Structure 1
Amino acid sequence: MLGLQYFSFADLWSPLLLAATLLLAAGYLVLIGPLAQRFPGSAEVPLRQRAMFLGGLLVLYLAQGGPVSLLGHILFSFHMVSMALSYLIAVPLMMLGIPEWCWRALVRVNPLRRLSFLAHPVVAALLFNGLFSLYHIPVIHDYVMLHFTVHRLYYTVLFVTSALMWWTLINPLPESRRAGGPVKIGFIFLNMVLLTPACGLIIFASSPLYATYSDPAVWARAMGYCVSGDPAALLQAFGGPGFFGGLSPKVDQQVGGIVMKFIQEFIFASMLAYVFYHWYKKENGQDDPDLSGPSGELGDGALTRV
């Protein structure tokens, strides 16, 4: 399917990243199990919450180390699927899976407290959406895709800024929740608006923007970082990314922009409906806790009040 049969198991499943993912999962289970008693206020982590973290970790692995990652180096549309899975689905799931007492210990680390301003809703939204949009400027995107170290560093920064952005909506610490429904709704709208220009540029471009997906020689160099063997052999075997998927670079690019915008709109629209529903119930005197980590609330606010 989509040419995956031409690649080896190591190319498809990234054994080193798989091992790192399994180690991280084991570390999480040890932390919330045998080591939990070392943390003040620790408590049993519900099965549902454990499933959220492990599920988010699985989604992140599939997006960054599994077949989706490989396809993301071949087709721009799958690149956007990988980005959406990594930063709009995996991050919030993993955050919801971390118990309150772990977050409390983390945010009390002095270096992190000095950077707490980065979790301010407006700053966090501008950081993540700005870096995401900057990454998809063609010259920057192609440079990042062709330099492995820069690629990993940029993706790590996107992961961190995504977590800062989600902190406003998934704040597991009751003592740091400040804003009410209207502020949450405004924050969601802000994120929906900020990503629109980048997606619009991608969708309505009159020609392919990214050499990584349209120039066979550049594509082969980029592929050299995620598959084994000589990149020149890829050119000889396949001739370029056009061998896979059957879409022209322009159409593939348009599909990618639409997919990213659709997933983002669906996720944030769902959260918008949820926030508005619970805000309305509270305004009418009905006690109904919002959604969040362990306590079941959808929180907001920054790290500064911990």
Structure 2
Amino acid sequence: MFGLEQFTFADLWSPLILVAAVLIIILYLGLTGPFRSRFERSEPVGAWKKFMFIIGIVLLYLVQGGPINVMSHMMFTFHMVMMSVSYIIVPPLLMLGMPSWLWRYLLDRPVMRKLKWAMHPILTALLFNVLFSFYHVPAVHDYVMLNYGVHIIYYIALFITSVMMWWPIVTPVPEWVILTDVKKMGYIFLNGMLITPACALIIFADTPLYSTYTDPDTWAQAMGYCVAGDPKALLAAFGGPQFFNWFDGAEDQQLGGILMKMVQELMYGAILAYVFSQWFRREGKDDDDVVESTLEGHFNQA
């Protein structure tokens, strides 16, 4: 499938990244298990939280170090799978999977306290969405894909800003909560609006925008950073990205944009529904408390 049998195990599964992912999971299980007592006000971590963190790391590994990473250099659709999983799905899983007492330990560092201003909702929304949109300007995208150092730095920046973007919505530490439930709903809507122009540019373009997925020489050079081997040998063996692609360049590009927008809408919609239900339940409880106290006052007067 996709010609992946032409690549080695190391190409497809990135052993170094796999080892790093395993070590992170072991560290997490150690900190939330046998070594939990070393942290102030620590509490047992439930199985659901552990599952969210572990599945977040596994997903991040699969798209950044597993076969999807290789496939993202062959089809723009899989590039968007990688982007949506890495920056829309994984961050809230990791954030919610870490217990609040571990977050408090990390956030209590002097340098982190000084950076609290950077978590302002408007700033976090703009940082991620501007970086994401700028990355998908054709000239920028091709440049990043062809310069390995820039590629790594940009992806790290995208991940950090995606965590910052999610922070006001799924703040795991009560004392760091910035927005009320109603404002969270507005913030989610704002993020959905900010990412729309980039997705629209990709979806409605009727010609391929990115040389990485259409020009054989550019593709071979980008693939050279992803798998072992001489780019010229890759070009001679496969001829270009068309060898792996089910669609023509424009169709692949449009499908990728639609997929990214759908994942974003589904995730934001699910979070929006959850925030709304929490707000509705809290408002209902407050109304019940008011009625109860009013009735109690009447009975006392009687």
TM range (shorter): over 0.9
Q: Which residue of 2 aligns with 1:181?
A: 181
Tell me the distance in 2 between the aligned counterparts of 1:41 and 1:150: 41
1:29: how far off? 1.4
| CA deviation map 1:103-135 (0-9, x unaligned) | 001111111222212211111011111100011
TM-score (norm 1): 0.91
Which position in structure 2 is the counterpart of 1:20? Answer: 20
Does residue 108 (structure 1) correspond to residue 122 (structure 2)? The answer is no
Matched, 1:212 2:250: no
Q: Which residue of 2 aligns with 1:124?
A: 124
- 1:197-222 per-residue CA deviation (whole Å, 9 max, x = no partner) reads 00001111131111111110000000
Q: In the alignment, is residue 284 of structure 1 matched against residue 284 of structure 2?
A: yes
Q: Counterpart of 1:74 in structure 2: which amino acid? A: M
CA distance in 1 between partners of 2:251 and 2:105 (Å): 48
Return the alpha-carbon distance in structure 1 between the equivalents of residues 219 and 184 of structure 2. 41
Flag as ranges the 4+ runs of structure 1 deviating above 3 A.
Answer: none
Q: Give CA deviations for 1:222-272 in whole Å, capped at 9, x if unaligned.
A: 000111111111111111000112211111111111100010011101111
Report which stretch shifted further, 103-112 or 193-202. 103-112
Q: Which runs of 5+ in 2 are unaligned?
A: 288-302
Q: Judging by fraction of residues, say which structure has more helix.
A: 2
Name the CA distance, whole Å, in 1 between partners of 2:142 and 2:208.
12
In structure 1, what is the Cα distance between the partners aligned to 2:139 and 2:115? 30
Q: Distance in 2 between matches of 1:30 and 1:22?
A: 12
Is the deviation greater in 277-286 or in 149-158? 277-286
Quick one: which amino acid aligns to residue 256 of structure 2? G
Aligned-pair identity in percent equals 53
Shift of 1:3: 1.6
Alignment partner, residue 270 of structure 1: 270
Does structure 1 conserve the Cα–Cα contact (< 8 Å) formed by 2:168 and 2:179?
no
> 1: CA distance between counterparts of 2:281 and 2:100?
25
What is the deviation of 1:284?
Answer: 2.2
**AA partner of residue 169 (structure 1):** I
The residue number in structure 2 matching 1:235 is: 235
Q: CA 1:137–1:79 in 2, change beyond 3 Å: closer, same or farther?
A: same
| 1:67 counterpart letter in structure 2 | P
* Counterpart mapping for 1:160-175 below 5 A: 160-175=160-175
Task: Tell me if 1:148 matches 2:157.
Answer: no
- Runs of 5+ unmatched residues, structure 1: 288-306
Contact 2:25–2:57 (Cα < 8 Å) also in 1: yes
1:82 aligns with 2:82: yes
Determine helix, strand or coil for the equivalent of 1:251. helix
Query: Larger Rg: 1 or 2?
Result: 2
CA contact (8 A) 2:121 2:165 kept: yes
- Give the aligned partner of residue 295 of structure 1: none
Number of aligned positions between the proteins:
287
Query: What CA distance in whole angstroms lies between the structure 2 residues aligned with 1:147 and 1:38?
Result: 43
* Deviations 1:28-80, CA, capped at 9 Å, x for gaps: 11222232222111121111111110110000000100111110011111000
Distance 1:40 1:231, change over 3 A: same
Q: Give the match's secondary structure for 1:285.
A: helix
Whole-Å separation in 1 of the counterparts to 2:270 and 2:178: 22
User: What code does the residue aligned with 1:149 have?
Assistant: G
Matched residue type, 1:54: I
Q: Specify the alignment match of 2:52 in structure 1.
A: 52
- More divergent stretch after superposition (195-204 vs 205-214): 205-214
* Corresponding residue for residue 29 of structure 1: 29
Name the CA distance, whole Å, in 2 between partners of 1:169 and 1:151.
28
CA RMSD of aligned residues (A): 1.3
